[in-house]
A and B are shown apart, each in its own frame.
Chain A
């Protein structure tokens, strides 16, 4: 799961890979638990008392140790929930799997090529829309049968991008 955020005038990229968290591509040693009005986060050994108020969807005021930081997240409108279910985890994880674009966008990176063996949850392709990068992962372990997209190409929602066998 990735987030393209903006804080302090700079674009920030947060990615969670299982139990790991990457901030702008760098691993972060963070321990976050819900506490008080928000979160207690230990980053390294430094303690941060954090609370988040979402003024409007994607428009966040984050208080860190009493100081406010405005964070914005890129937003996208969806036609229906059905669209979401058809993508990624919505498909059954057996047999031939079609990995489809969850939204109209641009292919940012293709991470695999035909013939590659992939593990379940392995990143396959990154689709960018509204400044938000979205890494699509393999629903199961298998072999990449076909890659139908190239980096830089524009794709429609639900376009089949990769087929896993």
Chain B
């Protein structure tokens, strides 16, 4: 293996290119029309255009990606996450073209990608699954059959897309009256997102935690599970904050979870990086939820508490190497790590997307802070793709100190021109239930519902005063508005003192701004 085609964009493409460079491998980026100037394109050794902005015509276009691999002489393909990462046809197309797909086999992707098949595999491995319908309901199955199955299962329940992921094609149904509207919404969403409107039903557990186990499987039959990740802080089924280890998991429970995860993966001959998700109730009972047959967004926190480079190992496994990681190292967390997913969304407007040009960006840095980002100053956050700006991670010797570092890093993170979820995280990290680690998968949605319309970041009086002074300075220094049509009314009968000095300085002895 000498040259890897990175079939993705944004931060994960950047992350994979970095791994390639760490391992002295060449990298080939691909880009849609609007991504020509994106970070991953400029970072890679080579880059090829693959079509228009619409994902279907570029990052999801298997033929074009295979063609780029041929033309550039790439001998392996890393799919990242999202896009084609869990598409068995893509993995098969790579294999057919003589390319090494850095991930599991097409058969494993297909098997574990079907939520109902995956549940069967877990049961076969002796791992309990959340009670639900054994078989999926196809698009043309009658509503009456689904209603009868729902009645047998009991409410509340979840409707889930068989091909689903990322919270799409998923609906919570409280009672039988809401079943049909939820069903139609889930089916239509699943059809659009995955091209498959098959669904199944699952009992909705009351206030469970979402805890997952990362694992690596090599081509020699060895499977290695890692210390768990806690992913219960979710907004509308989307993970928002992840941490490792889970503050809830004892070492006895960890042993149970990692053994169960490894058993499921071994049972299907899994190779590469994957993650097994569990739901856990307050009595420490756990159920298999699903398997993600790819690298997870939140992989950096596992890397931070184990010191193991997961992408490096994905590549090493793909080229046939044997896992030679000490299982104790993978299983025993060194300290605590937290990740915040910083999105281009306006938290004060119900988290609506906030695409546009980033006027300025300064990522957080400093000791034990990691920024996995793909965006930068002057760049566009396009409307076509996931609005993830950065995954900000922080490490500390224990949970409170990891939170303290994250709090500090969030304060340093500066993004201008678009709205981001940074103010939300600064608010979130001081919530008493979060600090006490008393939360479950519905906690954040409940918490957000209790809030009024108040903004997440409220400047104190001093900061507001400083903002007013700064606004005046800005208006003085920028002169008349560029168009000349609308001009801020400010007039003087003396030459401007403020703007003409390099570094305007106004000093007064008498009274400071602070009251």
Report A24-74 residues with CB < 8 Å from chain B CB: 26-34, 36-39, 41, 43-44, 46, 48, 50-54, 57-58, 60-69, 71, 73-74
Neighbouring B residues of A81 by C-beta, 8 Å: 484
Q: Do A63 and B507 touch (CB < 8 A)?
A: no
Known: A51-B360, A67-B463. A18 touches B497 (CB 8 A): yes
| Closest chain A CB from B510 CB (angstroms) | 5
- How does the 8 Å CB contact mask read for B445-488 relative to A, with 1 for contact and 0 for none? 00000000000011100111111111111111010010111111
Interface residue from A1, A5, A20, A65 paired with B463 (Cβ < 8 Å): A65
- Nearest residue (CB) in B for A134 is B491
Give the distance in Å from the alpha carbon of A23 to the alpha carbon of B486 in the complex.
24
Interface residue from B410, B467, B484, B506 paired with A20 (Cβ < 8 Å): B506
Give the distance in Å from the alpha carbon of A63 to the alpha carbon of B466 in the complex.
10
Q: Do A88 and B513 touch (CB < 8 A)?
A: no
> B416 contacts the other chain (Cβ, under 8 Å)?
yes
Q: Do B488 and A21 touch (CB < 8 A)?
A: no
Neighbouring B residues of A52 by C-beta, 8 Å: 470-471, 473-474
> B511 contacts the other chain (Cβ, under 8 Å)?
yes
Q: Do A138 and B493 touch (CB < 8 A)?
A: yes
- Nearest residue (CB) in B for A49 is B414
Give the distance in Å from the alpha carbon of A7 to the alpha carbon of B474 in the complex.
15
Neighbouring A residues of B489 by C-beta, 8 Å: 74-76, 103, 129-130, 132, 134
Neighbouring A residues of B464 by C-beta, 8 Å: 7-8, 64, 69
- Nearest residue (CB) in B for A78 is B487
Give the distance in Å from the alpha carbon of A89 to the alpha carbon of B497 in the complex.
13
Neighbouring A residues of B417 by C-beta, 8 Å: 53
Known: A3-B472, A23-B513, A29-B513. A77 touches B485 (CB 8 A): yes
Q: Do B514 and A43 touch (CB < 8 A)?
A: yes
> A107 contacts the other chain (Cβ, under 8 Å)?
no
Interface residue from A34, A54, A137 paired with B493 (Cβ < 8 Å): A137
Q: Do A3 and B513 touch (CB < 8 A)?
A: no
| Closest chain A CB from B351 CB (angstroms) | 16
Q: Do A43 and B471 touch (CB < 8 A)?
A: no
Give the distance in Å from the alpha carbon of A37 to the alpha carbon of B470 in the complex.
13
- Nearest residue (CB) in B for A50 is B470
- Nearest residue (CB) in A for B359 is A53
Most chain B beta carbons < 10 A, residue from A5, A23, A66: A66
Give the distance in Å from the alpha carbon of A52 to the alpha carbon of B477 in the complex.
12
Q: Do B466 and A48 touch (CB < 8 A)?
A: yes
- Nearest residue (CB) in A for B508 is A27
> A155 contacts the other chain (Cβ, under 8 Å)?
no
Q: Do A32 and B506 touch (CB < 8 A)?
A: yes
Q: Do A43 and B411 touch (CB < 8 A)?
A: no
Interface residue from B413, B471, B485, B513 paired with A66 (Cβ < 8 Å): B413
Neighbouring B residues of A74 by C-beta, 8 Å: 488-489
| Closest chain B CB from A100 CB (angstroms) | 11
Report B498-512 residues with CB < 8 Å from chain A CB: 498, 503-512
Give the distance in Å from the alpha carbon of A132 to the alpha carbon of B468 in the complex.
15
- How does the 8 Å CB contact mask read for A118-156 relative to B, with 1 for contact and 0 for none? 001100100001101011111100000000000000000
> A159 contacts the other chain (Cβ, under 8 Å)?
no
| Closest chain B CB from A122 CB (angstroms) | 9
- Nearest residue (CB) in B for A40 is B503
Q: Do A26 and B511 touch (CB < 8 A)?
A: yes
Give the distance in Å from the alpha carbon of A147 to the alpha carbon of B416 in the complex.
48
Most chain B beta carbons < 10 A, residue from A26, A36, A57, A138: A57
Known: A57-B486, A137-B492. A14 touches B413 (CB 8 A): no
Most chain A beta carbons < 10 A, residue from B492, B497, B498: B492
Q: Do A20 and B508 touch (CB < 8 A)?
A: yes
Give the distance in Å from the alpha carbon of A102 to the alpha carbon of B489 in the complex.
10
Interface residue from B470, B493, B498 paired with A139 (Cβ < 8 Å): B493
Give the distance in Å from the alpha carbon of A46 to the alpha carbon of B460 in the complex.
13
> B422 contacts the other chain (Cβ, under 8 Å)?
yes
| Closest chain A CB from B110 CB (angstroms) | 46
- Nearest residue (CB) in B for A44 is B512
Neighbouring A residues of B195 by C-beta, 8 Å: none
Give the distance in Å from the alpha carbon of A130 to the alpha carbon of B457 in the complex.
30
Give the distance in Å from the alpha carbon of A126 to the alpha carbon of B489 in the complex.
13
> A87 contacts the other chain (Cβ, under 8 Å)?
yes
Neighbouring A residues of B414 by C-beta, 8 Å: 37, 51, 63, 66
Q: Do B470 and A134 touch (CB < 8 A)?
A: no
Give the distance in Å from the alpha carbon of A79 to the alpha carbon of B506 in the complex.
33
Known: A16-B472, A31-B507, A43-B466. A87 touches B491 (CB 8 A): yes
- Nearest residue (CB) in B for A48 is B466
Q: Do B469 and A41 touch (CB < 8 A)?
A: yes
Q: Do B471 and A71 touch (CB < 8 A)?
A: yes
| Closest chain B CB from A86 CB (angstroms) | 12
| Closest chain A CB from B356 CB (angstroms) | 10
Q: Do B411 and A65 touch (CB < 8 A)?
A: yes
- Nearest residue (CB) in B for A102 is B491
> B283 contacts the other chain (Cβ, under 8 Å)?
no
Give the distance in Å from the alpha carbon of A1 to the alpha carbon of B504 in the complex.
14
Across the A-B interface, give the 4 residue pairs with the lowest CB-CB distance, nearest first: A137-B493, A27-B508, A69-B467, A88-B493
A-B contact pairs, 23 of them (CB 8 A): A1-B496, A3-B471, A5-B468, A7-B464, A7-B467, A14-B468, A14-B469, A16-B497, A21-B469, A27-B510, A28-B469, A29-B512, A29-B513, A31-B507, A37-B416, A52-B470, A52-B471, A61-B416, A71-B468, A75-B489, A78-B484, A121-B494, A137-B493
Which residues of B does A touch, CB under 8 Å?
Answer: 359-360, 362, 410-414, 416-417, 422-423, 426, 457-459, 462-476, 478, 481, 483-498, 503-514
A37-B414, A66-B414 given; name 4 further pairs at CB < 8 Å: A1-B491, A18-B497, A39-B473, A75-B489
